[in-house]
Amino acid sequence: MIKGLLFFILQKVFREEVSAVAVIYVTLIVKGKKTFDQVPERIQAQVRELLAELDVPELAE
């Protein structure tokens, strides 16, 4: 799952659809190291969108 996650997210970064910082937070949230509440407000929308695309929108609650 982690390899697929990384591939998916790297595609987004290279297309400049999301910031690299949002990708880092998504990775940390999926791994259980951070919670959505710890995401800076300015990138919460990007993080929420990425989590939804990864079929884990509940992690953004």
Who has greater pLDDT, 12 or 52? 52
Give the CA distances from residue 60 to residues 14, 15, 23, 49, in Å, rounded to whole numbers and listed in that order.
23, 23, 14, 9
For 14-60, what is each residue's pLDDT tens digit?
A: 666 678 889 889 999 999 999 999 999 999 999 999 999 888 999 99
Three-class DSSP category at 41:
helix
Task: Please count the structural domains in the chain.
Answer: 1
| In contact, 61 and 29? CB cutoff 8 Å | no
Burial of 5 (0-12, 13-18, 19+ CB in 10 A): middle
Rounded CA separation 41/55 (Å): 22
pTM attached to this predicted model: 0.76
Q: Which domain holds residue 51?
A: 2-60
